[in-house]
Every structure is written in structure tokens, then in C-alpha cells.
Chain A
Amino acid sequence: MELSQLIQNLMNGLAIGSVYAIFALGYTLVFSILGIINFAHGAVFTLGAYFTYTLVVGQFENNGLLKGINLFPDGSPFSGNPWLFALATLIGAAVAGLVAVLIERLAFRPMRSRGGDPLLALVSSLGVALVVVNLIQLLVGAEIYNFPSDAYGQVRPALSFHIGEKVVIIRTVQLIIFAVSLVMLALLGYVIGRTRVGKALRAVAENPGTASLLGISVDRFILITFFLSGFLGGLAGTLVGTAFGVAGPYFGVSYGLKGLAVIVLGGLGSIPGAVVGGLVIGLAEAFVPAQYSAYKDAVAFALLFVILLVRPQGLLGRAQIQKV
């Protein structure tokens, strides 16, 4: 492979891989605390993108019950300036976080208090996903919506530079996605590693029983976890939406499934594992040769299958010693 091609693939892989990472962290946070996989996480991702779009554009002109309603008849207060767009993105992610909290209250908490089969948590979270996805379709239709091209301000759509004879082109949006993801990962690392909330979260994750003995309100930390999880999912949704468009209500489904591959690859419940898993899968997809690009979507799952066979605890997970 030529150097220019290598750099281009590397950049593509890092950009999408870092989004996989922050999205998958949402799964991991919930798994590490409750030991369950929230299958509605893909739907929260989708919601994040739609919320931000609503703030930035204010209307869905094509289809659905909301067709023709314009939230901002005098123009959106969130457009035209990259900082305003960033604000809209954060609000969109925060609302997605609140939806995740709502999902916890409606679909997970009642089951926890009844001590139901954990498999049923899987079904109820999928039920929620079905509700969310179809509500979106009902409200705004199944069309693709694109963010305005100046969402990130008046920047050049792509950067290009020469390596020898070859031109390397990198989309600006990829650089932005990568940068934002890195900032988010650093922030999250700080919150979990250094703050009191983070320490308590880790304590709850280690052992919910002990944590409640220590006077930590487990329910409150579960809510915080779901908010963080939804926030990260929603943010990932907007980031992907700016790169590829908000591709309809089912837009989150394939990310939801790939996210599963990411967390298993990295090690279920491992926070650094989710980051490593995301980057590995992003890079692996970027380096699929052009003639096999149709098989790109299978790469994550092939890696998942292989890792489960050779190292079920994942790249960074700890092997569990079985108690007899």
C-alpha cells in the first residue's frame, strides 16, 4: 500500500473508530453497572441526531405528522456559527441522555425490582427501541435529512496535501469528529478516574451490594450512568449525522449492532476496552481493500466471532475464574 493511501485509510479509520468508541462506551457503562445490554442504545443514537437536527434546522419538510411545522419561523438560533452548532449538539446529546434515563425508569427499573429474568430486560429494551424508531418514522418520515453544509462554520470541506506525487484528501468533518471524540474520551476518563461521581460509579460497578452498604444510592448512580450513556450515544449520532446525513429512523440499528462487536472485542464492561475495540474495528473497516468493500459491514462481526473463539474475555477484559 502506498503511503498516501495508508494515511488516508488511517484517517478514515480513526474518525469512524473514535465515534464507535464513544458510542460503545454508552453500552459499556450500563453493562458494567447492571450486567445487561441496553438494546435501545442504537435508538438513542438516532434520537440524538434528530434532536440536534431539530434545533439546527427547525423543521422536517418531507413527511410525517410534523411536516410543515417550523420550530423557528425566523430562522434557527443555532445556525451559521460553529459554536452555536456545538451548543445544539450538546443539547441534543443531553436530551438523548434524558431519554435514556426515561428508558431506565420505564423498561429496566420495574424489572430490577421484580427480580425478573435478565433475558427479559433484553426484550423490553428492544421493545423500547421499536417504539422509538417507529415514533420517529411516524413524526418525521423515513427520509434522509442532511445537516446544513455550513454547520461547522465556513470551513473548507476537505484538506489536501501532497506526499511525493500523491494527493491525500481528508474530509474536514472527519478531523472534527476525531477531535471531538478525543475530547469526549478525555473528559470521560477524567470523570471516571478522578471525580467522586466516577469513584462511586466504579464502586457500584464492582459490587452493587457493597456500594449500597457504603451509603451510595445505587438507583441514583444507575440514573447518572444511563444519562451519561445516552449522552454519549446521542453525541455519536450527531457526529455520524454530520458526516453521512441522518439516514432515517433505522439509522442507528447497524451502529447498535456494531457497537456490540466493539464492546465484546474490547472486553465486556471494560472502559479502555471500548475505546480500543472501537478504534480496531474502525481501522479494520477502513483497510478493507476496495474490491471487497461490499463485505465491509461483515468485518466487525467476523472480528467479534474470532475474538469470542480465541479470547472470550476480549482484548482488555479479565478472564473470569469460575467458582465451584
Chain B
Amino acid sequence: MGDFLGQYGFLIVTMVQAGLLGLSLYFPLQAGQLSLASPGFYAVGGYVAAILLTNPAFAGWRDALGNGMFPLTWLAAALICGVLGLIVGVPALRLRGIYLALATIAFIEILRVISLNLSITGGAIGIFGIPQAFGFQDRWQYIWLFGPLLILTLLFARQLERSRVGRAFRAIREDELAADAMGVPPTHYKVLAFVIGAVLAGLVGAMSAPFLNTWNAKQGTFDASIAILAFVLIGGSRNIWGPVVGGALLTAVPELLRFLADWRLVINGLVLVVASLYLPQGIVGALGGVRRPPPPRRPPSVPVVVEAPGGGS
């Protein structure tokens, strides 16, 4: 067991982390918004945690809080990424389709250049020597952070899908204009979906900074956005398990291909091409066929109650 965890623990945690990042992109996609901004928020979340955990300015906080400092970094990262998501999202989400994707590429590139040049983010070298969370001795122990976060996120996503807000997301994904005409305010829900993704990516970043020990501008790049997009599309974008399966598999494939040495990145590219050509529904979509939800069951008949607008409800 110890051997197994020693050998594969890091990989397993990384697979869970990838699934979470996939989910962070899945939320905006639920509302029909192709955003590639996740790595940007992931990077910001990581920087927030790294700064709080290493910067001398916060030494007093660390002494006072001890291990309580780690939950504080999560909170701070979630909050900052949420606000940043709002600031970027409100103007950017007026755009549709490929334009939004390009705007989010611009966002991550600008963030990258800024983080390369600020002294608080450590410039090109980045921030290193980030302490291990809760004094973890082994990397695999981070499963105690990422695992519960994954479970909570999946529960959150499932509940969301069944709710009024989830229905509003789907309406906008299907037909933004018709949704608007039927009383669903598109901008409000697009921004909400974007901010949920931003907060999740920021949380993952804040947990990842101690996990990776160092944090630098390579964490939030265009390559990363594409990798995350691939997690979602190849796993399946219409089911909460899609991003999780896609993230886990695409993270594991290069490791399993390790025997191919230098060829593995080439193979990885081929996997992307082949999967996007031959598994257009994603792996989860293909496995489940087009799994129909069970036919809705009719509740005991109730008379139609239509209230005048403004009156009641």
C-alpha cells in the first residue's frame, strides 16, 4: 500500500485536481459559455495562497493561525477569484461563442505577463518553498483536500442542475434569445456561471500551491486552458462526470505512456485528435449512449393556479 501510494499517489491526486479544473470550465459551459479563463483563476488562487503562506508581510498571521492559515488561503482565493470573475465576466459575457473564448485567452495572457513582472508574485522565478498543507509528509495526502472538494463540487453540480438556476443555465445554452424572451435574464446567469467556475478554479489553485511547493507564471497558460478544455470535451460536456473522467484519463495517459519516453506528448496530441473526431459526445456520452432521463412522473393532479403578475408569489 505504501509503495503503491508512493508510486502513484502524486498521479492520483493530480487526476482528481484535473477533474476539478475540468468542472470549473464545465459550469460556464452549462450556461453555453465557452470560457478558457479557468487557468487564469487557478493561477490567481495559487498566487494568493503562495503569498499568504510565504510572504513576510503575513508572518504574524501565520504565527497566530497555525494550520488555520490553510483554510484562510482557500477563503481568500475563492473571494478574490469570485470578485475578479465578476470584474472580467460582466463586460466579457456580452460576447458570444468564439469571441468570449478569445477574450478569455486575452485575460490569461495579460495575467501571465503581469505575474511575470510583479515583485509580489516573484517575477519569472515565481514563489518557492511553499509549506506543505497541515504538515503533510507525502504528496498523496493531498487527496484529503482534493477528494472532499471533488465530492462537494459534484454534489453542488447535481443539485444545481435540478434547480431553477440550473434550468436557467440550460435555457441560455439552448437559445439565449428565447430564454430572455421567456423571462430568464441571460447576463445575470452567464456571469453567475462564470463566477462559479472562477471560484472553483481559484480554490483548486489555492490547494495546489502547497501541493506543488512552487508557483510561477507557467501555472496559468494558454496550454493549460486547452488541456482543461480537452478534459471537458473529451470526457463529455453534457454530464457532470464528463470533466472528471476526461481530466483523470488525460492526466493518466501521458503517465501510462511513460515507456514511450519522448514520444508520449506526440501520442497525447494524437489522442486529442482521434478522440475529438471519433468521440464527439465525449467518453461519458459514448459509454452511456445518449442516456435518457427516466420519463417524468406525473404528480397527483392539481388545478392550474395562475396568479396575476405582482400579486402573490
Contacts and interface: CB of A to CB of B under 8 A. Distances in A.
| Touching chains A and B, CB distance < 8 Å | yes
Contacts of B92: 305, 308-309
Interface of B: 34, 91-92, 94-95, 98-99, 101-103, 105-107, 109-110, 113-114, 116-117, 177, 222-223, 226, 229-230, 233-234, 262-263, 265-266, 268-277, 280
Contact of B276 (A120, A257, A261, A322): A120
A304 B106 CA distance: 7
Contacts of B270: 127, 131
Given A129-B269, A257-B109, A298-B113, A308 B95 contact: yes
A111 B91 CA distance: 33
A247 B10 CA distance: 33
A130 interface: yes
Interface in A25-80: 37, 39
Main secondary structure of the interface of B (DSSP, over half): helix
A260 B271 contact: no
A312 B95 contact: yes
Given A117-B233, A123-B234, A302-B106, 13 more contacts: A119-B34, A127-B271, A130-B265, A134-B266, A138-B262, A257-B109, A268-B99, A294-B117, A295-B113, A297-B109, A298-B110, A305-B107, A312-B95
Interface in A121-176: 121-124, 126-132, 134-135, 137-138
Contacts of A257: 105, 109, 222
Interface of A: 37, 39, 106-107, 110-111, 114, 116-117, 119-124, 126-132, 134-135, 137-138, 253, 257, 260-261, 264, 268, 294-295, 297-298, 301-302, 304-305, 308-309, 312, 322, 324
B265 A134 contact: yes
A64 B102 CA distance: 35
Contact of A138 (B95, B101, B263, B272): B263
Contacts, number: 126
Contacts of A132: 269
Given A138-B262, A301-B109, A294 B272 contact: no
B110 A308 contact: no
B266 A138 contact: yes
B277 A122 contact: no
A116 B280 contact: yes
A294 B118 CA distance: 10
A116 B279 CA distance: 10
12 contacts: A39-B226, A116-B277, A123-B234, A126-B272, A132-B269, A138-B263, A294-B117, A298-B113, A304-B102, A304-B103, A308-B103, A309-B91
B233 A123 contact: yes
Nearest to A115: B280
B273 A295 contact: no
Nearest to B279: A120
A260 B102 contact: yes
B87 to A, nearest CB: 12
A255 to B, nearest CB: 12
| Most chain A CB within a 10 A radius of its CB, from B101, B106, B268 | B106
B122 to A, nearest CB: 14
Contacts of B277: 107, 110-111, 114, 116, 120, 124
B46 to A, nearest CB: 20
The 7 closest A-B pairs by CB, nearest first: A127-B272, A130-B269, A131-B269, A127-B273, A298-B113, A301-B106, A134-B265
A298 B117 CA distance: 11
Contacts of A135: 266
A119 B233 contact: yes
Nearest to B233: A123
Contact of B280 (A114, A131, A295, A312): A114
B276 A130 contact: no
A291 to B, nearest CB: 12
Which residue, of A107, A119, A297, has the highest number of chain B Cβ atoms within 10 A?
A119
A41 B105 CA distance: 16
Nearest to B277: A110
Contacts of A130: 265-266, 268-269, 272
A308 B99 contact: yes
Contacts of B117: 294-295
A127 B262 CA distance: 16
A131 B277 CA distance: 15
Nearest to A256: B222
Nearest to B96: A312
